[in-house]
Amino acid sequence: MAALVILGGLAFILSIVALRRSPLLLADALRSALHRFIELAPRMAVAMLLAGFVGKLIPGELVGRFIGEKSGLWGIMIASIVGGFVPSGPILAFPVVVVLLASGAGLPQVVAFITAWSLLAFHRLIMYEAPIMGWRFAWQRIVSSLVLPPIAGVLTVVLMKAYYG
């Protein structure tokens, strides 16, 4: 709720700034926002549907075996791949992380998972990034980000050994 109030406040302030510059600027900005909403609303609806299914279909018994504490680098790699394909926003992704941890996932694997979800998000790439920014930009950004989730997982192993011994 706080984020909605903050974003609404920012939109209100920017609309006043635009209106003071020119009523035509405000009208143009509102038309642009409406156009973007109409373009993105169907994609958002499908993303929410997919996110709901993913959240309910996570097989808890397989979590420990594939991305458990003893899964090591393979588990980090699996979590890095799976995290990039979770089609959701934070409202589902973070509860999924809680389910993963409760099901026996290791902390380095979960760090890799959430890093991949945050950086890669292939659903977001297809629905928003490529259509808005262009495929060239999207491709370059995704390729340059692929190594980061496994690095985050391995770095977590190093930090855990330094902290816990």
The answer to whether residues 128 and 116 touch, using CB atoms and an 8 Å cutoff, is no
Residues 94 and 13 in one domain: no
**The pLDDT value given to residue 160:** 96
Residues 30 and 90 in one domain: no
Confidence category of residue 75, pLDDT binned at 50, 70, 90: very high
**The pLDDT value given to residue 96:** 79
Comparing C-alpha atoms, which of 46, 51, 12 is closest to residue 29? Answer: 12
Confidence category of residue 90, pLDDT binned at 50, 70, 90: confident
Question: Quick one: average pLDDT of 75-91?
Answer: 89
Q: Tell me the per-residue pLDDT of 42-68, one tens digit each, with 9 for 90 and over.
A: 877 776 676 567 656 777 678 788 999
Report yes or no on 153 lying in a domain.
yes
pTM of the model: 0.67
Residues 68 and 4 in one domain: no
What's the mean per-residue pLDDT of the chain? 89
Q: Regarding predicted confidence, which is higher, 49 or 123?
A: 123
Residues 34 and 90 in one domain: no
Residues 148 and 88 in one domain: yes
Report yes or no on 52 lying in a domain.
no
Comparing C-alpha atoms, which of 89, 70, 73 is closest to residue 81? Answer: 73
Neighbour count for residue 38 (Cβ, 10 Å): 9
Q: Regarding predicted confidence, which is higher, 161 or 96?
A: 161
> How many whole angstroms separate alpha carbon 126 and alpha carbon 109?
25
Decide: helix, strand or coil at residue 121: coil
Residues 82 and 126 in one domain: yes
Residues 64 and 138 in one domain: yes
> How many whole angstroms separate alpha carbon 147 and alpha carbon 101?
23
Tell me which residue range forms the domain holding 62: 58-164
How far lies 55's CA from each of 67, 142, 159, in Å?
17, 24, 29
Q: Into how many domains does the chain fold?
A: 2
Report yes or no on 51 lying in a domain.
no
Report yes or no on 49 lying in a domain.
no
Report yes or no on 46 lying in a domain.
no
Residues 77 and 4 in one domain: no
What is the crossing angle of helices 23-56 and 2-21, to 10°? 160
Question: Tokens 């393979």 — which residue?
Answer: 74
Q: Regarding predicted confidence, which is higher, 115 or 43?
A: 115
